[in-house]
């Protein structure tokens, strides 16, 4: 029988090793899954993890890595602020969508005027939209004690409905011959979020993600806000004793994470996606939750986890195309990553003992 | 002494890194009240859990009533006539007394028959208790009676009591002792765990003293000096706190009609509290647990805000201010619960130094944290208060209760507060650490600070307080000089509205 014994102090070694072990176990279990589906497991794993970077079509897929990773990193960094304090914003997807709607609305209102001020205004609008959408569950929790997990998640579906209404109504492209979706912002020079270095996938969202990672690291390590967030997560009563106002912290964290998710939506709609369409929400907001935990809620960990997750996205698409793996298998594969991570995570705080139980 | 009911020989139990019990042998006679003495961590709990079947010893054996005794679980212990009253009650607030008792029995009779039994037993042992009452509304002393009755209904031959008086008023203690003496007359043996030497001298016939898992002495407490027993417990002689008589100075902290609703469902509202604490004075606030101690501490520390004029510090109205604003003005506090309230268990001592020290020690500059200064502050606390730890990087969780408490109190004292509020400063702390903490509080008062000590340990208050008042159901009695107060007067102040009349 295996028992778990609480460690006197959480193990640093295990905390570092956990993500790597989780990735390895995911490869093993994923390989078994692919084998059960009748595919060559080694080839499938190679297609997912290796080919996007170094395979025959790497020239196309490599820039995609940054394009996919940037929103994940940006959103996950924001989420990590709240998660560390035990504030569970599950609705980043909705904040991402609303941020994109607001940014697109600003751009479309100005169309076709050109101005250097337009892009910054869109950045502001995107952040503000996400912030306000994130504040709704925050206020509901502080004012009425509503569980933010439920309210923030439900607001995702409201945001999706809002997106559909906008794409079909107010923001629809008047020259689009009745097709749903807005004008293509990528073809509107003042609003376009173009690659900074052609062929690299590096757009302004990538820059924002990197800034967010560094800023979050500074906040956690050196700033009072980060200390209060960590303290609230570690010992809520001690945090109140230290002068933290829990309600205010909820609003700050929900607002912060909402604003970063909104920013991610803004960079996406102005660049890679180009337009608001009914299917604009691609699940970045949900995947970012996995990224945040995979990165151990640590900014640089999130950076690495975001790149890894982007890799499995791109590799997963490759595997779908080249090996005809079903999309569900890829999703299971990504889910396994979080499953193994959380499972192995127990070992940082507990020590397994094998042997007969002694009371 | 009569022949032995329970004999332990060579009991040992090791946990990773610590030998909780090491070759323990002694015996408890029939109809004997046997005291088990020792500091926190001496191995008392492990030992009685072994006797009660909750812990299996690594080696050694027990004999109960001439038969080998090795209970694998508490049910087996109960079947052999061993019962135990725990320090922390395991009762359901929402259920009645009778329902709670039924839950702890193997084959409970019908509720009505059980209620009759409870009423009968409670009458015959002088433990007044209404079987139909809801446990949520009972005082700590009454809850303990439920636990005791639960044991008595099993007609035990050995009753184990773990620190039973820590939650009782002196009058309630008297009722308990009378019951225990009556049980002894009936031939029941009692294993009585405590570190309060006074009560052990009052009614135990034999005592076994544990230190670091070993038996370091046995004695007849009625004929042994308390000081000798204490020194055996600690393994060294230590000085009792001392201080010259202090002259109270100007008023520092004033509470005017301090009232506040209960913050939680089972909390206590504060009612019209009026008191003034002067510079150089230690005000002791006694009271049985759950009479508003936590709420009063929160209202003083700033975790709970009240109307501005209800709390003032040196003439400034601070009732509306949060903890950090109060710290900036010189009011520091240390709540009762170390783990998770006064300190964050998973954080390092440096981070825990930041927790309250940020304001007064200048550990924050424009929102940015000065970790170097925080580490120096943590080291200073560790050095000055002799906190046993590898260093400021250690997690608070890894410290023993006494060491963490020294750190928590030291952290506040080294901020040189004008007024310090502490709640249960030596709760669950070994005697040596308690002496250090009490001396530090006295020294702080002597340097001119106003000190408020909220404590359920009357011995502690009698030792260090200048004036005494009692907290009862959220009301504070008028303060009286500590010197000259008798235990009985204190008991009446504490008991205030408690119903202490005995049945029968």
Over range B479-501, report the average pLDDT. Answer: 71
B397 touches B196 (CB < 8 A): no
Residue B37: Cβ within 10 Å count: 28
Please give the residue of chain A at the shortest CA–CA distance from B54.
A359
Phi/psi at A238 (5° precision): -65, -35
> Could you confirm whether domain B251-494 is CATH 3.40.50.300?
yes
Task: Give the model's confidence band at B331: pLDDT under 50 very low, under 70 low, under 90 confident, else very high.
Answer: very high
What are the chain B neighbours of A353 within 8 Å (beta carbons)?
none
Give A322→chain B minimum CA distance, Å.
48
Cis preceding linkage at A229, omega within 30: no
Q: Say what the pLDDT of residue A358 is.
A: 46
Test mutation, B21, B355, B360, chain A, max A CBs within 10 A? B355
- What is the C-alpha to C-alpha distance for residues A99 and A93, in angstroms, rounded to an integer? 10
**Judging by beta carbons within 10 Å of its beta carbon (0-12, 13-18, 19+), is residue B155 exposed, middle or buried?**
exposed
CB contact under 8 A, B397 and A8: yes
Give B147→chain A minimum CA distance, Å.
24
Q: Which helix (H) or strand (E) holds A145?
A: none
What is the ipTM score, two decimals? 0.84
- What is the C-alpha to C-alpha distance for residues B443 and B463, in angstroms, rounded to an integer? 14
Name the residue facing A242 among B345, B346, B356 (closest C-beta): B356
Query: Which tokens sit at B459?
Result: 């011995």
pLDDT for B244 beyond 50: yes
- What is the C-alpha to C-alpha distance for residues B305 and B322, in angstroms, rounded to an integer? 7
Over range B440-457, report the average pLDDT. Answer: 93
pLDDT for B137 beyond 80: no
Longest dimension (CA), chain A: 76
Q: Say what the pLDDT of residue B280 is.
A: 93
CATH superfamily of B4-234: P-loop containing nucleotide triphosphate hydrolases (3.40.50.300)
CB contact under 8 A, A237 and B355: no
CB contact under 8 A, B397 and A222: no
Q: Say what the pLDDT of residue A134 is.
A: 97
Task: Give the model's confidence band at B1: pLDDT under 50 very low, under 70 low, under 90 confident, else very high.
Answer: very low
Q: Say what the pLDDT of residue A13 is.
A: 82
Scan for tokens 């410290």, then name that residue: B399
Burial B91-104 (b: 16+ CB within 10 A, else e): beeeebbbbbbbeb
Residue among B370, B396, B364, B372 nearest B382 (CA): B396
Q: Say what the pLDDT of residue B17 is.
A: 63
Residue of higher predicted confidence among B2 and A37: A37
Q: Where in chain B is the domain with CATH 3.40.50.300?
A: 4-234, 251-494
pLDDT in tens, chain A (359 residues): 677 777 766 777 888 888 889 889 999 999 999 999 998 999 999 999 898 888 888 888 888 899 999 999 999 999 999 999 999 999 999 999 999 999 999 999 998 889 999 999 999 999 999 999 999 999 999 999 999 999 999 999 999 999 999 999 899 988 888 788 888 988 888 888 888 888 788 899 999 999 999 999 999 999 999 999 999 999 999 999 999 999 999 999 999 999 999 999 999 999 888 889 988 988 899 999 989 988 889 999 999 999 999 998 899 888 898 888 888 988 898 888 888 988 888 887 788 777 654 44
Residue of higher predicted confidence among B303 and B122: B303
Give B61→chain A minimum CA distance, Å.
17
Name the residue facing B344 among A223, A238, A243 (closest C-beta): A238
Test mutation, A4, A242, A353, A356, chain B, max B CBs within 10 A? A242
∠ CA(A86), CA(A90), CA(A95), 5° rounding?
Answer: 120
Question: What strand order describes the sheet that includes B158-162?
Answer: B82-85, B158-162, B189-194, B33-37, B206-211, B214-219
Over range B24-44, report the average pLDDT. Answer: 86
Name the residue facing B54 among A223, A237, A359 (closest C-beta): A359
B454: left (phi over 0), alpha (psi -120 to 50) or beta: beta
Q: Say what the pLDDT of residue B422 is.
A: 97
**Judging by beta carbons within 10 Å of its beta carbon (0-12, 13-18, 19+), is residue B113 exposed, middle or buried?**
exposed
Name the residue facing A238 among B54, B342, B398 (closest C-beta): B342
CB contact under 8 A, A235 and B324: no
CB contact under 8 A, A241 and B371: no
Q: Say what the pLDDT of residue B406 is.
A: 94
Give A249→chain B minimum CA distance, Å.
15
B416 touches B360 (CB < 8 A): yes
Residue A149: Cβ within 10 Å count: 15
Residue among B454, B458, B479 nearest B166 (CA): B458
Over range B179-198, report the average pLDDT. Answer: 87
Q: Say what the pLDDT of residue A9 is.
A: 67
Q: Say what the pLDDT of residue A57 is.
A: 80
Q: Say what the pLDDT of residue B239 is.
A: 58
Domain A40-324: give its CATH architecture.
Orthogonal Bundle (1.10)
Phi/psi at B69 (5° precision): -135, 115
What are the chain A neighbours of B397 within 8 Å (beta carbons)?
8-9
Of A246-250, B276-280, B288-292, B480-484, the range with the lowest mean pLDDT is: B288-292
Q: Say what the pLDDT of residue B503 is.
A: 34
Residue among B321, B312, B247 nearest B273 (CA): B312
- What is the C-alpha to C-alpha distance for residues B227 and B40, in angstroms, rounded to an integer? 18
pLDDT for B2 beyond 60: no
Task: Give the model's confidence band at B498: pLDDT under 50 very low, under 70 low, under 90 confident, else very high.
Answer: very low
Instruction: From residue B373, give the alpha-carbon distance in Å to each of B326, B350, B351, B379.
Output: 22, 9, 11, 10
Over range B89-112, report the average pLDDT. Answer: 84
pLDDT for B104 beyond 90: no
């Amino acid at each position: 029988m295996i028992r778990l014994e609480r460690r006197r102090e959480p193990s640093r070694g295990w905390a570092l090793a956990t993500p790597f072990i989780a990735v390895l176990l995911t490869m093993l279990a994923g390989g078994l899954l692919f084998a059960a589906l009748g595919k060559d497991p080694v080839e499938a794993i190679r297609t997912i993890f290796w080919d996007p970077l170094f395979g025959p079509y790497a020239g196309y897929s490599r820039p995609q890595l940054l394009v996919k990773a940037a929103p994940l990193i940006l959103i996950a960094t924001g989420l990590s602020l709240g998660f560390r304090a035990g504030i569970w914003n599950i609705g980043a997807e909705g904040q991402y969508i609303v941020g994109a709607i607001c940014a697109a609305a600003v751009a479309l209102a100005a169309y076709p005027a050109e101005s250097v001020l337009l892009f910054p205004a869109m950045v502001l609008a995107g952040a503000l939209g996400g912030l306000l959408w994130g504040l709704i569950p925050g206020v509901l929790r502080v004012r009425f004690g509503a569980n933010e997990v439920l309210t923030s998640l439900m607001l995702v579906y409201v945001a999706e409905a809002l997106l559909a209404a906008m794409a079909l109504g107010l923001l629809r492209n008047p020259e689009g011959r009745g097709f749903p979706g807005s004008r293509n912002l990528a073809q509107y020079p003042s609003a376009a979020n173009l690659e900074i270095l052609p062929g690299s996938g590096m757009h302004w969202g990538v820059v924002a993600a990197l800034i967010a990672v560094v800023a979050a690291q500074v906040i956690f390590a050196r700033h009072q806000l980060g200390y209060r967030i960590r303290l609230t997560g570690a010992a809520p009563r001690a945090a109140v004793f230290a002068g933290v106002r829990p309600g205010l912290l909820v609003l700050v964290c929900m607002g912060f994470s909402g604003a970063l998710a909104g920013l991610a939506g803004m960079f996406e709609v102005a660049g890679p996606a180009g337009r608001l369409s009914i299917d604009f929400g691609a699940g970045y907001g949900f995947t970012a939750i996995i990224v945040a935990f995979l990165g151990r809620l640590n900014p640089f960990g999130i950076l690495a986890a975001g790149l890894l997750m982007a890799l499995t996205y791109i590799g997963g698409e490759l595997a779908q195309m080249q090996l005809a793996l079903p999309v569900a298998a890829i999703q299971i594969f990504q889910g396994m990553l979080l499953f193994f991570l959380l499972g192995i995570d127990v070992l940082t705080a507990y020590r397994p003992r094998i042997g007969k139980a002694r009371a | 002494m009569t022949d032995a009911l329970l004999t332990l020989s060579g009991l040992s139990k090791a946990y990773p890194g610590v030998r909780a019990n090491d070759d323990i042998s002694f015996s408890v006679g029939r109809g004997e009240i046997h005291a088990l003495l020792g500091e926190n961590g001496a191995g008392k709990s492990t030992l009685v859990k072994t006797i009660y079947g909750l812990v299996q010893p690594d080696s050694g054996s027990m004999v109960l009533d001439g038969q080998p005794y090795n209970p694998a679980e508490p049910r087996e212990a109960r079947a052999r006539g061993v019962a135990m009253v725990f320090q922390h009650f395991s009762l359901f607030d929402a259920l009645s007394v009778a329902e709670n008792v039924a839950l702890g029995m193997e084959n409970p009779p019908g509720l009505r028959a059980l209620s009759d039994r409870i009423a009968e037993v409670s009458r015959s042992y002088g433990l007044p208790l209404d079987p139909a009452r809801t446990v949520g509304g009972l005082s700590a002393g009454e809850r303990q009676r439920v636990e005791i009755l639960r044991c008595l209904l099993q007609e035990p031959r050995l009753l184990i009591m773990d620190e039973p008086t820590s939650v009782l008023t002196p009058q309630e203690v008297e009722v308990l002792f009378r019951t225990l003496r009556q049980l002894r007359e009936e031939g029941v043996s009692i294993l009585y765990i405590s570190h309060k030497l006074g009560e052990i001298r009052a009614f135990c016939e034999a005592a076994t003293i544990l230190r670091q898992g070993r038996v370091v002495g046995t004695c007849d407490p009625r004929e042994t000096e308390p000081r000798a027993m204490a020194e055996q417990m600690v393994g060294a002689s230590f000085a009792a706190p001392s201080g010259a008589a202090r002259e109270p100075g100007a008023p520092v902290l004033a509470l005017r009609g301090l009232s506040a609703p209960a913050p939680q469902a089972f909390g206590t509202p504060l009612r019209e509290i009026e008191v003034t604490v002067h510079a150089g004075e230690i005000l002791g606030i006694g009271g049985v647990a759950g009479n508003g101690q936590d709420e009063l501490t929160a209202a003083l520390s700033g975790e709970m805000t009240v109307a501005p004029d209800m709390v003032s510090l040196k003439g400034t109205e601070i009732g509306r201010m949060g903890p950090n604003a109060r710290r900036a003005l010189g009011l520091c506090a240390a709540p009762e619960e170390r783990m998770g309230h006064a300190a964050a268990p998973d954080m390092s001592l440096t981070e825990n130094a930041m927790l309250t020290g940020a304001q007064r020690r200048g550990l924050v500059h424009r929102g940015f944290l000065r970790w170097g200064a925080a580490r120096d502050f943590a080291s200073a606390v560790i050095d000055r208060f002799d906190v046993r730890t590898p260093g400021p990087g250690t997690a608070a969780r890894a410290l023993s209760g006494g060491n963490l408490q020294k750190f928590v109190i030291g952290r506040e004292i080294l901020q040189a507060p004008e007024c310090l509020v502490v709640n249960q400063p030596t709760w669950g702390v070994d005697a040596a650490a308690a002496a250090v903490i009490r001396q530090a509080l006295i020294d702080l008062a002597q340097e001119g600070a106003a000190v408020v000590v909220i404590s359920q340990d009357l011995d502690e208050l009698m030792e260090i307080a200048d004036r005494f008042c009692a907290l009862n159901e959220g009301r504070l009695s008028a303060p009286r000089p500590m010197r000259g107060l008798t235990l009985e007067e204190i008991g009446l102040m504490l008991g205030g509205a408690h119903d202490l009349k005995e049945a029968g």
